[in-house]
Amino acid sequence: MRFDEYNYFNIYLIYKGGENMTSTIKDVARLAGVSISTVSRVINNSKPVSPEIRQKVMKVIEEINYKPNEIARSLVTKKSSLIGIIVTDIGNSYVAEMVRGIEEIAKMYNYDIILCSTYSDKETECKNIQLLKRKQVEGIILISDIINDRIDELIKEYDNPFVYLNRLYHQTKYSTVSIDNYNAAYEMTKYLISLGHMNIAYLTAKEKQLKELTTIETEKLEGYKKAVREELYEEIIHFSKGKNIKSGYNAANEIIARDNITAIFTSCDDLAIGAINYLYDNNINVPHQISVAGYGDIGTASILRPKLTTIDEPFYDIGAVAIRRIIKELKGEKVDFDEITLPFRIQRRSSCVEIK
């Protein structure tokens, strides 16, 4: 450090010492003896700057530990590099997994994420969209599991890249990403049939408000039906009160009242886990007395004993693809299809066995 620089630095310290310590581009400019535009240029590498000056500026930046204020930058560039992500509840492992995918990819492209929870409340969902708009997020991913008739209006106002990961519906208005639920359910049922099961109960839940099955649940159910019909087996369909573990627990009781059932296939892992718990608590052996298959392959599925046979929905990838799509759109790249379908896998584990 030569004397003049050392001196500059001291002056700077004296100047800044009293008040707010954060230094601005002006400080850097003054200390480096250049204009703020030049500083801006070296920070952003936006235009050529002579090596010596660049050096000098960088040194000052280093010395006073200058960090550009992204808020100010955003204001002028109109790019916040923020993506809003609205979830039902980060406590659900599949949601966490999706967020993981989103966050990781977003970071790769220098976007940050603002996280909001709705706990499946419609009002909160709407509020969050508006709030994120005010925060100038460049895109929104909405992970929802409710019906929200105000989405249309809100998104129209918002007018930015948007991906709708609604677990109830497939709609063509917005970009979405999911697996082929019809075929997934079909294949799982076929698998159970291949194990010799002839009386396979399907357990699902109606949506509370509508009191009917949602688009996606209908697709799964149809997949199940198709497989069963092909064999001319009986369709055995049960509806639980909800989709959580407890609902599965309670439903299992009713299902096994029919004593010919040898397998239960549920529309989500939690229902399967609930069912397995019920059977365990009532000394009914899974899989030897009853096989149980789930849907989703949440983390718990492979921890359980017996390990849960289920359909692997690639939650991480769903998140990753969703954010990828938004970033593409933001970059002005052409984005073709709006309904992206990802591959699934049947996870054959120990909760389902061949019938004897």
Contacts with 30 (C-beta within 8 Å, 6 or more apart), sequence order: 12
Which region, judged by CB under 8 A, interacts with a copy of itself, from 26-34, 49-57, 112-120, 337-345?
112-120
Nearest to DNA of 7, 35 (CB atom): 35
Contacts with 255 (C-beta within 8 Å, 6 or more apart), sequence order: 201, 203, 238, 261, 264, 275
Q: Decide: 329 and 161 in contact? Cβ < 8 Å.
A: yes
> Could you say which of a copy of itself, DNA, none residue 289 binds, taking C-beta under 5 to 8 angstroms by partner kind?
none
Considering only residues 72, 108, 210, 237, which one is a binding residue for a copy of itself as defined by CB under 8 A? 72
Nearest to DNA of 38, 266 (CB atom): 38
For the CB of residue 11, give the shortest distance to DNA in the complex, in Å: 18
Task: Answer yes or no whether residue 55 interacts with DNA by CB under 7 A.
Answer: no
Task: Answer yes or no whether residue 75 interacts with a copy of itself by CB under 8 A.
Answer: yes
Task: Answer yes or no whether residue 256 interacts with a copy of itself by CB under 8 A.
Answer: no
| Burial call 51-70: b when 16+ CB within 10 Å, e when fewer | eebbebbbebbebbebeeee
Task: Answer yes or no whether residue 254 interacts with a copy of itself by CB under 8 A.
Answer: no
d(CA 20, CA 41): 25
For the CB of residue 59, give the shortest distance to DNA in the complex, in Å: 14
Considering only residues 40, 88, 204, 310, which one is a binding residue for DNA as defined by CB under 7 A? 40
Scan residues 289-318 and list those touching a copy of itself (CB under 8 A). Answer: 299-300, 303-305
Q: Decide: 187 and 179 in contact? Cβ < 8 Å.
A: no
Scan residues 247-286 and list those touching DNA (CB under 7 A). Answer: none
Long-range contacts from 44-51, C-beta under 8 angstroms, 24+ separation = none
- The DSSP symbol for 212 reads B
d(CA 229, CA 234): 7
Task: Answer yes or no whether residue 104 interacts with a copy of itself by CB under 8 A.
Answer: yes
For the CB of residue 42, give the shortest distance to DNA in the complex, in Å: 8
Taking the CB of residue 268, how many other CB atoms lie within 10 A of it? 27
Scan residues 132-161 and list those touching a copy of itself (CB under 8 A). Answer: 133-136, 157, 159
Task: Answer yes or no whether residue 72 interacts with DNA by CB under 7 A.
Answer: yes
Task: Answer yes or no whether residue 75 interacts with DNA by CB under 7 A.
Answer: yes
- The DSSP symbol for 336 reads -
Which region, judged by CB under 8 A, interacts with a copy of itself, from 166-174, 184-192, 196-204, 273-281?
273-281
Nearest to DNA of 63, 270 (CB atom): 63
Considering only residues 7, 10, 11, 26, which one is a binding residue for DNA as defined by CB under 7 A? 26
Q: Decide: 248 and 298 in contact? Cβ < 8 Å.
A: no
For the CB of residue 13, give the shortest distance to DNA in the complex, in Å: 17
Which region, judged by CB under 8 A, interacts with a copy of itself, from 53-61, 69-77, 175-183, 288-296?
69-77
Long-range contacts from 36-45, C-beta under 8 angstroms, 24+ separation = 43/68
Taking the CB of residue 299, how many other CB atoms lie within 10 A of it? 13
DSSP secondary structure string for all residues of 244-276 = SHHHHHHHHHHHTTSTT--EEEESSHHHHHHHH
| Interface residue list for a copy of itself (CB under 8 A) | 21, 65, 67-72, 74-75, 80, 82, 89-91, 93, 96-97, 99-100, 103-104, 107, 112-117, 130-131, 133-136, 157, 159, 245, 273, 276-277, 280-281, 299-300, 303-305
